[in-house]
Amino acid sequence: MKNFLRRLKFYGFGFGIGIIFVFFFFQNRGCTWLPSNRVKNTILGRVLVTSDKDKQLFYSKGLTEDEVVAFLNDGDVDFGKSKKEGNPQVYSITKEVNGKDIELWFTIPADAYIAEVKYPKGSIFATKNTTEGMGSMLHFPNVESIVYLDSNKRLTCQQDKLGLISPKEIVKRMKKTGKIDFSKSKLKAQPQPKQYILFTTKKGVEVAAETYWYQEHIQFTEFLLKDTLDCGSY
């Protein structure tokens, strides 16, 4: 009995040290079972976008793009103020920046591959995703191959002529020049939400595409251009 109690004491001591490391040294990011981290990881598992209008608001408040993304690492989720039901869900996350507490709202539209960060305005329960204007792509999931390319001949032809042979090259161009057109995106479309995006190729050609969330990947079926690139026969 004494040996059992001794082992239990050592186990409890080790477990306590582990909890301290997780909470204080790793800022809770290792605890995926915590509700706040589940929300943050869900958002980080999507492409984080913001409207050009909100982007200017962030700048006016002294927030850089990196600081906005940092809300998802060490910000505090306020579930009491958040819209946890409906489409989209909207979560209030607060973080101290330059000695001041700043609140941002993060939307999670159902079945879409984007999440949108917005500067608080009005009621969080009435908040919807942006439906006008353009937006920027601030952060991409840490996934090796997030782009899925359809195998149809038209898309293959376009890839060849645009120099977009691999999914990695497309992700690279999206990270560098990617935009989302909110006015042409339909985030409540059925059976799948549509995200209309634009980016510029290495050759300087502006490419647009209607993209969808397909088995945890961004699905491309064709590129939309003014010039057909002689791929119109497919």
pLDDT band at 28 (very low <50, low <70, confident <90, very high): very low
User: Which residue has tokens 């492409």?
Assistant: 47
Examine the fold and report which residue of 79, 98, 130 is the final residue of a domain before the chain moves on: 130
User: Mean pLDDT over residues 171-184, rounded?
Assistant: 97
Q: State how many domains the chain has.
A: 2
pLDDT band at 27 (very low <50, low <70, confident <90, very high): very low
Structural domain of residue 87, as residue ranges?
A: 32-130
pLDDT band at 30 (very low <50, low <70, confident <90, very high): low
Within-domain flag for 231: no
In this structure, the answer to whether residues 74 and 119 fall within a common structural domain is yes
Within-domain flag for 11: no
pLDDT digits (tens, 9 = 90+) for 185-218: 999 999 999 999 999 999 899 999 999 999 899 9
In this predicted structure, the answer to whether residue 2 has a pLDDT above a threshold of 80 is: no
In this structure, the answer to whether residues 110 and 39 fall within a common structural domain is yes
Check residue 73 and give its pLDDT: 94
pLDDT digits (tens, 9 = 90+) for 45-100: 999 999 999 999 999 989 999 999 999 999 999 999 999 999 999 999 999 998 89
Check residue 119 and give its pLDDT: 96
Within-domain flag for 181: yes
pLDDT band at 33 (very low <50, low <70, confident <90, very high): confident
Within-domain flag for 7: no
* In 111-178, alpha helices (H): 153-162, 167-177
In this predicted structure, the answer to whether residue 13 has a pLDDT above a threshold of 60 is: no
Mean pLDDT of the chain: 88
CA nearest to 116, candidates 124, 102, 106, 103? 106
Cis (ω within 30 of 0) for the bond into 88?
Answer: yes
* Cα 116 to Cα 4: distance, rounded to the nearest angstrom: 52
In this structure, the answer to whether residues 123 and 36 fall within a common structural domain is yes
pLDDT band at 230 (very low <50, low <70, confident <90, very high): confident
Q: Residue 36's domain is classified under what CATH number? A: 3.30.2310.40
Within-domain flag for 16: no
Give one DSSP letter per residue of 162-219, joined into a string. HT--SHHHHHHHHHHH-EEETTT-BTT-SSS-BEEEEEE-TTS-EEEEEEEEETTEEE
In this structure, the answer to whether residues 48 and 100 fall within a common structural domain is yes
Check residue 24 and give its pLDDT: 41
Within-domain flag for 168: yes
Check residue 232 and give its pLDDT: 66
